[in-house]
Each structure stands twice: as structure tokens, then as C-alpha cells.
Amino acid sequence: MLIEVKNISKTFDDNVILENINFSVDAGETLAIVGFSGSGKSTILKIISGLEEIDSGEVVLGDKEIGMAFQYSALFDSMSVYENVAFALKERTKFKKLYTESQIKQIVQEKLETVGLSGIEDKFPSELSGGMQKRVGFARAIVTNPRIILYDEPTAGLDPVSSTVIEEYIVKLKNDLHAASVVVTHQLSTITKTSDRVIMLYEGKIVWQGTPVELLTSVDPYAYQFVNAEKNGPMIAVAH
């Protein structure tokens, strides 16, 4: 397994965010984490990536190299596409002396080509559409060839066609890198097109898990409410 999450719990100001969460993700597998806003989905990504500490439990990673694709791309506005994608190779100690400038240029070109964005190295984020910014974020996330890739709401705010493009690249990157991928999302299309397994969170606990097909056909009250966007059910949406 490349990712093993064992009994992790997390609280903020006495509010329980996660309680005894367990799951694993193998190489070449994608896990979708779904649930209402505030259910702890993004917190799990932060814990796996090391951005957030846990109160108890354990996270075991089979590879230390992790790629993270953020919800709103999180590109540096003052940097060109090339500078954004090359950032890790130039700034991280592990890579700073590993490549020459010409080698870095070649790697950046290859990663941009992988996400279908050849020839835009000199553009700035403000010159790109939302979908293109997402794909640049993907290129930046995979520039170090990570075996673990984390996606936080990768299709949020995109139109259906752009969402489909992003979903196809999530599958492509998983296959190309044989990565263990975790996708936090609330969109059914992203769940069905990208994931092999699904876990549903509510109030910090896993309340349902299975395959995408099982999610769509389940009569479990949690799964049924989520899939059919029912207001009435065991889960209560909290306005933010």
C-alpha cells in the first residue's frame, strides 16, 4: 500500500473533525472522499501531505514524494507558467542541485505536454482559463514524478466540458505514474469517472464505503441522500 491511514483523529477547538478514520490506497488506485461541506474531507488531504498534524492514529506512506493539486490551483500570480511548474525543482533542497536549467526546461515541457498544454510556458496565470489553470496545477503537482497524488475539489467551479477534461487527466496521470490517488470531491461525475473506491464522511466519521457503481445504486440512507441530493435524510447540511 502506498497510503495507509490508521485510526486517525483530529479536533479543532474541541470540535471533532475526524474520528477513528481508517483506509488504504494502493498503487494505481484512486480513492474518492465525499461528503457534505465541513465533513473533514480536505483535512484528510492536509494530514496525508503533512500540512496538518493528527491528535492520534498513524499515517504510513510508501513514498515520500507527494503531489498536491489544490482546489483553486494556487498558482503564483507573479510567476509564469514555467516558473510555477518548475518551482519544486528549483526551490526544494532535494532537487535544487539535481538538474541543470536545460534539464528543468525539458521536464517542465514534458509535464505541460502530459496535461495538454504545450507551448504556454511564458504565459501568466491571469492569461489562462480556469480549466487551464487547473491543468497547470496538475503539471506542477507531478513535476517530481510522485507516486502519491492528492486532489482537492479538482473540478470545482468548472463547466461540464472542462470538468470532463480534468477528470480524464486524473485517470491519465494515475495510469502514467501508477500513482495512489485521493480525490476529494462532491461531484458525481468526478466520482464515477475517476475513482475505484469511495468513502463518505459525515461528522468526521466514515458512514459509507464501496465502489462508484455501488454508490449510485445503494439504498443505504447516507448514500441515497448524497446521490439524490435529498434534503431529508440522516445527514444535515450546514450553511457556511
pLDDT at 36 over 90: no
Confidence (pLDDT) at 97: 86
Task: List all residues 6 or more positions away from 75 whose beta carbon is below 8 Å from its beta carbon.
Answer: 84, 125, 133, 136, 137, 140
Average pLDDT over residues 105-123: 95
- pLDDT more than 90, % of the chain: 80
Confidence (pLDDT) at 228: 93
Tens-digit pLDDT profile for residues 142-187: 999 999 999 999 998 888 998 999 999 999 999 999 999 999 998 9
pLDDT band at 39 (very low <50, low <70, confident <90, very high): confident
Are 11 and 121 spatial neighbours (Cβ–Cβ below 8 Å)? Answer: no
Average pLDDT over residues 106-116: 95
Domains of the chain: 1-39+48-65+148-154+179-209 (3.40.50.300), 66-145 (no CATH)
pLDDT at 71 over 90: no
pTM of the predicted protein model:
0.93
Average pLDDT over residues 32-36: 93
Q: HSE of 64 in the Cβ direction (CA atoms, 13 Å)?
A: 1
Average pLDDT, the chain: 93
pLDDT at 72 over 60: yes
Task: List all residues 6 or more positions away from 156 whose beta carbon is below 8 Å from its beta carbon.
Answer: 71, 72, 187
Are 84 and 136 spatial neighbours (Cβ–Cβ below 8 Å)? Answer: yes
Q: Which residue has the cell 457556511?
A: 240
pLDDT at 240 over 60: no
Task: List all residues 6 or more positions away from 216 whose beta carbon is below 8 Å from its beta carbon.
Answer: 188, 192, 227
Phi, psi (rounded to 5 degrees) for 119: 80, 15
Q: What is the DSSP string of 63-100?
A: -S-EEEE-TT----TTS-HHHHHHHHHHHSHHHHTTS-
Confidence (pLDDT) at 137: 93
Tens-digit pLDDT profile for residues 185-239: 989 999 999 999 999 999 999 999 999 999 999 999 999 999 999 989 999 876 5
pLDDT at 85 over 70: yes
